[in-house]
Structure 1
């Protein structure tokens, strides 16, 4: 029996951080995870997020911003907020989801030249990848320990 861990990444705009996290977990986690992202005030997918992810050979250009309300009837194992505003505005999620907060700087708010702005997206992408590199093996061990994979 295979049980994918159902994860929702949540941020304010669902335009950068949560989108990158969704793409990273989908790629790094494979079939062990069912992953979605949403925002409290969805905005268009940020092209710098798409570019930063493409540099890591992950294509998120087909993803789109979604409102949290689209997911209120879905049971998630983990709801991971990736910005402080989402955590503060939505501190708990319906049902029995485990809520986790991983705060990252908002790359969309970066100032400077195009290259300086893109550097912030790259840094945040790398920070998310690093965190997932620790979290994914822990989740896989939990699944194995429960006999679910």
Structure 2
């Protein structure tokens, strides 16, 4: 084998590898564009309706906790109807600590004592009906 062939062969392999990487990058870029093309804005009302439906159908603790992580993961405070549905789901799966934690999540998401108190006032009937107390009421 001549010396020129041994030098050009690794260069040809490197060129093919670079071409394959470029082709993969091009396909990946197109694929990302396709995923983001279907993005739509969700209204607060649709968000509320979606999570109320979700919590109405929850039948185990894992699903409840997954739904709470999703609902509280957005940059907004869930509507009282969502919190009410989540509280009912927590009691339905017989998990009192999660019900108490829901109020902690609301307190963190509201960011102000005044707004948190408004939520507590609006949710007072469901709290009484389900026998749920907040962390503060439990003395913790």
Please confirm whether the aligned pair reaches a TM-score higher than 0.5, indicating the same fold. no
More helix by share: 2
TM-score w.r.t. the length of structure 2 is 0.28
TM-score w.r.t. the length of structure 1 is 0.27
More strand by share: 1
**Which one scores higher on RCO, CA 8 angstroms, separation ≥ 6?**
1
